[in-house]
Structure 1
Amino acid sequence: MTRYLFLALASVFAMTCLAGTSARAAGDDLVIELKTGKVVIKLRPDLAPKHVERVKTLAGEGFYNGLKWHRVIDGFMAQTGDPTGTGMSGSKLPDLPAEFSQEPYKRGSVGAARTQDPNSANSQFFICFNDSGCAGLTGQYTIWGQVVSGMENVDKIKRGEPGSGTVEDPDTMVKVYVQ
């Protein structure tokens, strides 16, 4: 009887551990499919839970599929997430409050784009090309993710005009989803 109780408890423990592992792993990454390949972003709800939840919601709705990289500044960052492709719009959801942190911006950091109002982030975001270009953003822009693979594909996004970063015939995000 003790042996059967032990086996039953061991089975329950094993299933609980597996379920816990699946729950932790599910939804930890945002995948952006580009024409050059995939970009995988580790989401950081520990830094910006509201922003991560927004990105997951929009990706789940297919909002980001086909959107343009409308502002791309060489040596700085690539920005997307505006359904109009102009950099002047966002989703129909309300803007988000700032979730600033002291997590340093570096190559592959993903942050929330906003206006001069710190609480105006909505759906737009950017990916940093290098450490030095984005270092000044730390503590001033919400960081919600980090590219963990596919940065070579981010590097291939078509660059915009020097200064403004406006891109003529920009690249797009083919498909965006959470895994």
Structure 2
Amino acid sequence: MRGLTAALVALFALAGLAGKAFALDPENTIYLDLKDGRVVIELLPEIAPEHARRIKELSREGFYDGLLFHRVIPGFMAQSGDPTATGMGGSFKDDLRAEFTNKESFTRGALGMARSSSPHSANSQFFIVLDDASFLDGEYTLFGRVVEGMEYVDNIAPGEPPSNPDKIVKMQVAADANQ
């Protein structure tokens, strides 16, 4: 009986360590593959439905595959999603209206949409917050959170632009992935 109890305790502990990623909805989960490993992102369509939809749409089109991280500021954020790698480009889709929220805060691991000075100009560029950036709350649309693999985001080469920039190896919706 002790053996069975010990085995069950170990199994439950292992399940707890497996992380949140196993409980995520595959349709609202993004796999962001970087040179060092996979980052698992939980999309938040309940607070930013159009932005979550755009990220999934562009991921399914392969838009993000191979794009550089063109702006990486240590202690702040890592930005990608610009096919020109200048910070001025985007997809050929219409810009999105802002979906600001007070329900979530830009803490470490939050994903937000980059934009110009107009709040309704988000398109394809996004950033991952490296540390607390709650000063962005209500100014940028927060659409997701890193739930696994933040250590790989921390390894992205810094710079504006980085001298040897890292890239997105592949970005895909988990429901479509072959792992």
State the TM-score bracket (shorter-chain normalisation): 0.7 to 0.9
Larger Rg: 1
Task: Name the structure 2 match of 1:174.
Answer: 169
Q: In the alignment, does 2:152 pair up with 1:157?
A: no
Task: Name the structure 2 match of 1:118.
Answer: 119
Task: Name the structure 1 match of 2:53.
Answer: 53
Paired amino acid for 1:65: D
What SS is found at the alignment partner of 1:154? helix
Q: For residues 84-163 of structure 1, what are the structure 2 equivalents within 5 Å?
A: 84-102=84-102, 103-131=104-132, 134-160=133-159
Superposition deviation, residue 143 in structure 1:
0.2
Q: Tell me the percent identity.
A: 52
Structure 1: gaps (5+ residues): 1-23
Paired amino acid for 2:69: W
Please, what TM-score do these two structures have when normalized by structure 2?
A: 0.82
Give the Cα–Cα distance (whole angstroms) in 2 for the partners of residues 129 and 90 of structure 1: 23
Paired amino acid for 1:107: R
Superposition deviation, residue 166 in structure 1:
2.1
Give the Cα–Cα distance (whole angstroms) in 2 for the partners of residues 39 and 81 of structure 1: 16
When the two chains are superposed, the root-mean-square deviation of aligned CA atoms in Å is 0.9
Give the Cα–Cα distance (whole angstroms) in 1 for the partners of residues 95 and 88 of structure 2: 13
Give the Cα–Cα distance (whole angstroms) in 2 for the partners of residues 129 and 108 of structure 1: 6
Structure 2: gaps (5+ residues): 1-23, 175-179
Between Structure 1 and Structure 2, how many residues are aligned? Answer: 150
Please, what TM-score do these two structures have when normalized by structure 1?
A: 0.82
Give the Cα–Cα distance (whole angstroms) in 1 for the partners of residues 61 and 127 of structure 2: 20
Give the Cα–Cα distance (whole angstroms) in 2 for the partners of residues 32 and 106 of structure 1: 19
Superposition deviation, residue 28 in structure 1:
1.8
Q: Once the two structures are superposed, what CA deviation does each residue of 1:92-119 show, in whole Å capped at 9, x if it has no partner?
A: 0000000001121100000000000000
Paired amino acid for 2:142: I
Q: Once the two structures are superposed, what CA deviation does each residue of 1:106-151 show, in whole Å capped at 9, x if it has no partner?
A: 00000000000000000000000011xx110001100000000000
What SS is found at the alignment partner of 1:53? helix
Paired amino acid for 1:62: G
Paired amino acid for 2:78: A
Q: Which runs of 4+ in 1 moved over 6 A?
A: none
Superposition deviation, residue 25 in structure 1:
2.4
